[in-house]
């Protein structure tokens, strides 16, 4: 069920993913291991540097192509969460980074010498209310000293560079609450010897999430991305890219479930005929196909707006909302189709079912998206 856009890219990703069958991913989960071999191949093939312009060694492609890459990764049965951050955090560097930062980091990232896989925003006490985060950065003699705590920061142990959001001035209750936030590039290679403590989170899925504790952690002034105090705008571009890319992953998950369920329903015979002949089985799969196809159009629309530099906040949120719902319902249809065998790890469906459930909550919850659309698009009263 390859998409009809960027077919050559999709076929290349599909061919690479065939070398990493579902038994590979099931084995990784059993021992909580990172897919280093898969990521190395994705990097050497140029897929993870697709957004980096050619002048810095990348492919110079757009978010539409990046969506096609991650969608096919998920459709193959793999888990794109192991590598997607390098694509969406790239938006902050490309749009807001200085020439010095781009020249220093992008060629190394494109060659695979530097891994840029981590995005530290969420905190234990603030959750989705990013404007009230408490991690603070104070400038001393050309260096920012950062103290605070982050949670659900993924792939820290498998990344050399991280984008981090912290407060450089107190929140102003009577003004723009986003002012005072600043974005920083953090070099993780020797960070634990300089005041960064990392604690792994034992989570439902193999997502390599961590909690971070920063104690006067030094970051050079030249690692500030964009203007001091204007960092929310910097990370917002990454957040929009993240929502669109994860929506594409959800489309891939949904197509995985639809393909698996359709094949099993055609082969499994009960009461003398394939179970797919029963409308109670085939209708949920068919509805999921329709919902997935429609959601895919919104993902393409959002990616197109992002690539053209136009406002895409509403479209990015709607793409994530619709695609996450489509993948969850497709997963439920697949679980029902497989019946008791759905709960057997051998059939792989339960692993993907757990993975796609995450996107009802992250990177932004369904209810927060609905609040955003109600307020920004429908001019309803603010609810939070």
Domain-embedded: residue 146: yes
Domain-embedded: residue 384: no
Q: Which two structure tokens, joined as six digits, stand for 135?
A: 């991690």
In a 13 Å sphere around the CA of 236, the CA atoms on its Cβ side amount to 13
Domain-embedded: residue 2: no
Q: What is the C-alpha separation between 122 and 166, in angstroms, rounded? A: 10
Helix (H, G, I), strand (E, B) or coil at 149: strand
Phi, psi of 370 (to 5 degrees): -60, -40
CATH code where residue 25 lies: 1.10.540.10
Buried residues in 192-231 as b, exposed as e (16+ CB within 10 A): eeeebeeeeeeeebbbbbbbbebeebebeeebbbbebebb
Beta bridge partners of 136: 147, 167
Domain boundary among 198, 231, 264: 231
Domain boundary among 83, 111, 139: 111
CATH code where residue 283 lies: 1.20.140.10
Tell whether 193 and 136 lie within a shared domain.
yes
Tell whether 200 and 289 lie within a shared domain.
no
Domain boundary among 111, 127, 161: 111
CATH code where residue 134 lies: 2.40.110.10
Shortest CA distance to 3 belongs to which of 355, 381, 323?
Answer: 323
Q: Which two structure tokens, joined as six digits, stand for 276?
A: 């797919």
Segment 33-37 long-range contacts (CB within 8 Å, at least 24 positions apart):
33/206, 34/82, 34/155, 34/157, 34/158, 34/208, 35/78, 35/79, 35/82, 36/158
Tell whether 148 and 219 lie within a shared domain.
yes
Give the contacts of 85 (CB within 8 A, at least 6 positions apart).
116, 117, 118, 119, 154, 155, 159, 242
Domain-embedded: residue 383: no
Beta bridge partners of 200: 210
Q: What DSSP letter does each residue of 281-335 carry, written as one string?
A: HHHHHHHHHHHHHHHHHHHHHHHHHHHTT---HHHHHHHHHHHHHHHHHHHHHHH
pLDDT in tens, 353-363: 999 999 999 99
Helix (H, G, I), strand (E, B) or coil at 99: helix
Q: What is the C-alpha separation between 126 and 117, in angstroms, rounded? A: 23
Tell whether 369 and 239 lie within a shared domain.
yes
Tell whether 248 and 340 lie within a shared domain.
yes
Instruction: Show the low-confidence residues of the chain (pLDDT under 70).
Output: 1-3, 173-174
Domain-embedded: residue 277: yes
Tell whether 67 and 88 lie within a shared domain.
yes
pTM to 2 decimal places: 0.96
pLDDT in tens, 190-239: 999 999 999 999 999 888 999 999 999 999 999 999 999 999 999 999 99
Predicted pLDDT of residue 384: 77
**E runs forming strands in the chain:** 116-120, 136-140, 143-154, 161-167, 181-187, 196-200, 209-220, 224-225, 269-270, 273-274
Tell whether 227 and 239 lie within a shared domain.
no
Domain-embedded: residue 195: yes
* Cβ-contact 354, 204 below 8 angstroms: yes
Residue 310 structural domain: 233-377
Q: What is the dihedral of CA 337, 343, 344, 346, to 10 degrees?
A: 60
Q: What DSSP letter does each residue of 185-221 carry, written as one string?
A: EEE-TTGGGTTEEEEE---SSS--EEEEEEEEEEEEG
Q: What is the dihedral of CA 312, 317, 320, 324, to 10 degrees?
A: -160
Count CB-CB contacts under 10 A for residue 85.
25
User: How many domains does the chain divide into?
Assistant: 3
Tell whether 218 and 132 lie within a shared domain.
yes
Domain-embedded: residue 161: yes
């Amino acid at each position: 069920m390859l998409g009809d856009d960027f077919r050559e890219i999709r076929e290349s990703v599909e061919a690479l993913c065939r070398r990493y069958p579902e038994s590979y991913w099931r084995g990784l989960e059993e021992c909580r291991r990172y897919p280093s071999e898969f990521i190395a191949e994705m990097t050497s093939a140029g897929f993870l540097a697709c957004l980096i312009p050619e002048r810095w060694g990348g492919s110079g492609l757009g978010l539409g192509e990046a969506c096609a890459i991650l969608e096919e990764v998920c459709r193959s049965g793999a888990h794109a969460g192991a590598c997607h951050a390098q694509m969406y955090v790239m938006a902050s560097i490309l749009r807001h980074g200085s020439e010095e930062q781009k020249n220093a980091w992008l060629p190394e990232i494109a060659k695979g010498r530097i891994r840029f896989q981590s995005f530290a925003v969420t905190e234990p006490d603030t959750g989705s209310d990013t404007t009230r985060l408490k991690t603070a950065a104070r400038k001393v003699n050309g260096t920012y000293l950062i103290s605070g705590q982050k949670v659900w920061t993924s792939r820290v142990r498998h990344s050399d560079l991280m984008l981090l959001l912290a407060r450089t001035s107190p929140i102003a209750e009577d003004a723009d609450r986003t002012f005072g936030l600043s974005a920083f590039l953090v070099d993780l290679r020797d960070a634990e010897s300089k005041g960064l403590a990392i604690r792994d989170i034992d989570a439902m899925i193999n997502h390599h999430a961590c909690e971070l504790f920063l104690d006067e952690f030094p970051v050079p002034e030249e690692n500030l991305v964009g203007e001091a105090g204007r960092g929310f705008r910097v990370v917002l571009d990454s957040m929009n890219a993240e929502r669109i890319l994860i929506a594409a992953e959800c489309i891939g998950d949904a197509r995985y479930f639809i393909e698996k369920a359709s094949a099993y329903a055609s082969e499994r015979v009960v009461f003398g005929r394939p179970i797919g002949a029963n409308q109670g089985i085939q209708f949920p799969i068919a509805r999921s196909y329709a919902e997935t196809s429609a959601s895919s159009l919104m993902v393409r629309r959002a990616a197109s707006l992002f690539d053209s530099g136009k406002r895409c906040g509403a479209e990015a949120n709607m793409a994530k909302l619709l695609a996450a719902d489509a993948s969850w319902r497709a997963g439920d249809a697949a679980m029902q189709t497989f019946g008791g065998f759905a709960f057997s790890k051998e059939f792989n469906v339960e692993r993907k079912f757990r993975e796609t459930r995450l996107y009802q909550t992250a990177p932004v919850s369904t209810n927060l998206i609905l609040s955003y659309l109600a307020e920004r698009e429908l001019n309803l009263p603010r609810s939070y």
